Amino acid sequence: MAAAPHSDLLALRDALRAFAEARDWGQFHTPKNLAMALIGEAAEVVEHFQWRTAEASAALPASDRAEVALELADVLLYLVRLADVLEVDLADAAQRKLAINESRYPVDKAHGRADKYTQL
């Protein structure tokens, strides 16, 4: 799956910024509050998979998939807003992290393994 173009992330960031500014929510959008909200939304994603087998989690009914999609959107929105408040370019940070992971997990050592890079 291709990553969203950088311009898509910027457009989403700008839309979220305008949404928050129109409501005077900047006062509440501190890094601490946004990070806590992000974790709360991530926990709501997890709730849809708790107690399901690996197979059942990969074959969610359409109604559950729709709910998960909205929870994932919440996670993305809080992540993008947090990055904006912290002045982090998410696309750039993700590319840098991918490059780090490429070196930490070389294909010849990591292929088919779930071990942490320090254990390869």
Residue 23 resides in a domain? no
56 CA to centre of own chain: 22
Task: Please provide the size of the chain in residues.
Answer: 120
Residue 55 resides in a domain? yes
What is residue 117's predicted lDDT score, i.e. its pLDDT? 87
What is residue 6's predicted lDDT score, i.e. its pLDDT? 80
Distance CA 47, CA 13 (A): 27
Residue 109 resides in a domain? no
Extract the residue ranges of the chain whose pLDDT is less than 50.
Answer: 1
Residue 68 resides in a domain? yes
Residue 46 resides in a domain? yes
What is residue 2's predicted lDDT score, i.e. its pLDDT? 56
Residue 4 resides in a domain? no
What is residue 4's predicted lDDT score, i.e. its pLDDT? 55
What is residue 29's predicted lDDT score, i.e. its pLDDT? 98
Residue 76 resides in a domain? yes
Residue 107 resides in a domain? no
18 CA to centre of own chain: 21
- Taking alpha carbons only, the member of 51, 29, 48, 25 closest to residue 38 is 29
Number of independent structural domains in the chain: 1
Range of the domain at 65: 28-100
CATH at residue 49: 1.10.287.1080
Distance CA 52, CA 55 (A): 8
According to DSSP, residue 89 is labeled -
